[in-house]
Structures are given as C-alpha cells and as structure tokens.
Amino acid sequence: MSSDPADTVRRLLAERTGTEPGDWYPVFKARYGMEVVFRAIGQTHGTGEVLTQIFTCSTAVTPILAAGMRAAYGDISAASIALDPTTVPVTDATRAVVLQHTFGIVDQPRARALRAVADTAGAVLVEDSAHCVGRLALAEDGSPLADISVHSFGAEKMLPSRFGGAIWINAERCDEHLRRRLAQELGTLRAVTPRIDRTARLYKNQVRVLNRLPGGVATKARSTLARAGLFEPLISTEETTGSLPYAAMAPSPWMLQQIAETLPCLATIEQTRSAAVAVYLETLRDVVQIPESITPDSALVRFPFFVASSELAERLVTKVTEAGFYAGRWYRPALFPGVADPAEYGYRVGDPALATSEDLIARVVNLPTNIITDEARRAAAVVRELLGAG
C-alpha cells in the first residue's frame, strides 16, 4: 500500500464513492479547483456562461469570473435550496450548470432533472459537493450524475482538516477532450508555498485565540494578519471582488496527511450531524419553514430554516449565539458575505427571476449540526422561545 498521503486520500474517496482513485485530484482549496474546471470548460467548449445561484458563497462564484467565464443565475427551489430545474434559464451561451448541494442537501430527483436540462443545453454538469464531501448525486441506475464533482475539506465543512479540496472527473460522462485537459492541469499542480503551508499549520491555534477576542478587535486582527501573509482567511478581500489571491495549487504533504487521517472519521461525523438534524426537524417543523428535501437522516453541515422576516432572522441569530451556540446567517446577503459590486458578478439585485432566492436569503437562519442531540434540543428550545412557541 502506498505511503503517499495523496494516494491515500484518492483511495479513501474512491472507496467511499465507488469510483476510481485515479479520477480524483487533490487541490489546495476547492475554489481553486473550480477555477481550473471552469477555465478548461471555456477552453474546450468556448467562453460563455456558467449557470449557478445567488444563494451561495462568493467563493463558489468568484472562480467562474477568475476563469474568464460569465456567471448567470437561476432561481432556486425552496425545497432543495438548489437550482430549480423547472425554471433554469439555459441559453445558447450556457457552457456549464452548477448542481449545488447546499448545506449538504442532496435532492436526487431534482438533481436528475437538472442533469437532463444540462444535457439539452449541451452543457457540462458541475456538482458542488463542498458541504457533503464524498457524496455524489446519482442516476436511477446508481451511477454518478455529474461530469465533474467538487469536494472540500476546508474550514467549516464536514471534516476538521481545515484545508484542501478534491476534484472528481467522471470518466463515463465527461467528454474526452475536457477530461484530458483537466487531468493534465490538475495532475501537474505544484504544491502550496512554504509560507501557505506554515499559515495552514498555525490556523487552528490562531482561530482559537481570535475567537476569544471581542468582535471588532478580532475582525481587525484577522485583517491585519491576512494582509501580512500570516493568516489564511476563510474568504479574502479579493474573493469578493471577482478574483482569487493565488494560482491553483496542490495541497502540501502536511495538508494531505490531515485529510487522510480525518476521512476515515467521516461516517461517524455524519451520524452526529444527522442526529442533530433529526432533532431540529422534530422540534422546529411546526414553527419555521424547513426545506422539504431535508430528511431525518440528512447529514448536513448546517441546519437551515426560514422565518417570517430578515429582522426576526437577525434576532434569532443574536439570541441563539448568546445562548452559546454558533448560529449562522449562511447565505445572507446574496453571494455571502456580499460582494463589492454585484453587477461585476452578473447579479442584478431585485431581479424578479430570482424572487424565491432573494426571499429565502432575507429570512435564512442556520444552526450547528456538529453537536450532540441534547445540545441540539437546547438550541431548538431557544428558537421556539423567541418565536413564542416555547
């Protein structure tokens, strides 16, 4: 058995997904792998549009722009928080369609319908599995749906590895020209620089210290350290202005070793998260709007729900945080945490074609799933109390 941690990561991902190790390509961060993917699509299929959603992070859209493609947006389904296949606006310029498993929700029927839409448009289906590493949307015969699938081992994702990502190329679906180009480019990436490797090793302790500081002080400290190249932020300033701070790179051996050590824990981690999801479903379904595609066995990176207004959503985030739980507002505002110029991203605020997306963005709250069930019940009780349903 190979002692190369990259080989170990490929093998573990292949074993989990029933795929071939040689079709997996580790990258420093998933967003850089996405840039390589979209650039290759432009080079092989022609420059055009990538159809995606605004209910997402800026780092999922910036790679499209950095690759020289244009971002276009479809509305999402309230059931899956992913592109609604019945309304997606594919055009002659559509080169790729993004199937995002938001929070880890994998809605198989809608994913299959989106595959059909992409096929009709002659577009590449790119699966964003950043929130559910090692999970793939499947056709009715059990085969993977997407041409290309993107996975993340980064901070605030499923695993505690904090850095790294992987691109999977579907040899059965991805056209040969694109597959060969991607294999060449992803397979020859140079490893991250020694400086980036050092900051990655320091990240865990840095965050632990920064989280103990008052909010304003912590924000300033993060910014100062990032500008000095001493801290790797979750989202850099460049990543909200249409560019990426680095060229695509492979993970360092140390990063790969962290991923290799944590991947075997994924099943246990998912069990913990799905148990919390089951509690939230049981205790909150009568007082908040919950995406219908979430089931009690859904292993989600966060548990999303929607309340009556943005103001109420903010009050809930504050109240739950004060109670000691990491409440979140992923993804409010659109292209979270917001971009400097929405027009540069191809997003027209108030676009009636994105009405469902903008409505859900305004009202979203999400709860942690990396907690035991007793803690999940306490977090849900805080929500119920504020909503007057204690």
Tell me, rounded to whole angstroms, the distance of Cα 105 from its chain centroid: 11
The reply to whether 14 and 132 lie within a common domain is yes
Range of the domain at 54: 5-187
Query: Above 80 in pLDDT, residue 3?
Result: no
Classify 321 as helix, strand or coil. helix
48 occurs within a structural domain: yes
Helix (DSSP H) and strand (DSSP E) numbers for the chain = 12, 9
Per residue in 206-222, pLDDT (tens digit) is 989 988 888 788 889 89
Helix axes 253-262, 194-210, angle to 10 degrees: 50
- The verdict on 158 and 284 lying in the same domain is no
Same domain, 179 and 78: yes
Task: Let me know how long the chain is.
Answer: 390
Same domain, 26 and 148: yes
End residue of a domain, out of 144, 170, 187? 187
CA 185 to chain centroid, in Å, comes to: 22
Same domain for 300 and 152:
no
Q: Tell whether 174 is covered by a domain.
A: yes
310 and 177 share one domain: no
**DSSP reduced 3-state for 333:** coil
Residues 14 and 100 in one domain: yes
- Split at pLDDT 50, 70, 90, the class of 2 is low
- E strands within 19-170? 24-27, 49-52, 70-73, 94-100, 124-129, 148-152, 165-169
| Residue 147: φ, ψ to 5° | -75, -40
229 domain residue, yes or no: no
Residue 239 within a domain: no
Mean pLDDT of the chain: 96
Residue 277 half-sphere exposure toward CB, CA atoms < 13 A: 24
Q: Are residues 138 and 275 in the same domain?
A: no
CB distance 59 to 155 below 8 Å: no
How far is Cα 101 from Cα 72, in angstroms, rounded to an integer?
A: 18
Given 154, 187, 220, the domain boundary residue is 187
Q: Are residues 133 and 37 in the same domain?
A: yes
List, for residues 374-390, the tens digit of each pLDDT value: 999 999 999 999 999 86
Domain boundary among 158, 187, 216: 187
* Domain annotation covers residue 340: yes
What are 242-264's pLDDT values in tens digits? 999 999 999 999 999 999 999 99
Tell me what pLDDT residue 277 has: 98
Statement to judge: residues 269 and 181 lie in one domain: no
Rounded CA-CA distance 151/213 in Å is 32
Within-domain flag for 328: yes
Using one digit for the tens of pLDDT, what is the confidence trace for 22-60?
Answer: 999 999 999 999 999 999 999 999 999 999 999 999 999
Rounded mean pLDDT, 333-338: 98
Does some domain include residue 232?
Answer: no
Under a CB-based contact definition with an 8 Å cutoff, are residues 353 and 75 in contact? Answer: yes
What share of the chain has pLDDT > 90, as a percent?
Answer: 93
In this predicted structure, the answer to whether residue 1 has a pLDDT above a threshold of 80 is: no
Give the number of domains in the chain: 2
- Cis, peptide link before residue 345, omega less than 30° from 0: no
- My answer on whether 182 and 270 are in the same domain is no
Query: What is the CATH number for 25?
Result: 3.40.640.10
Contacts within 8 Å (CB) and 24+ apart, 225-233: 229/195, 229/199, 230/199, 230/202, 231/199, 231/202, 231/203, 231/206, 232/163, 232/196, 232/199, 232/200, 232/203
Predicted TM-score (pTM) of the model is: 0.96
Q: For residue 307, what is the domain's CATH number?
A: 3.90.1150.10
Same domain membership, residue 297 and residue 177: no
In a domain, 218, yes or no: no
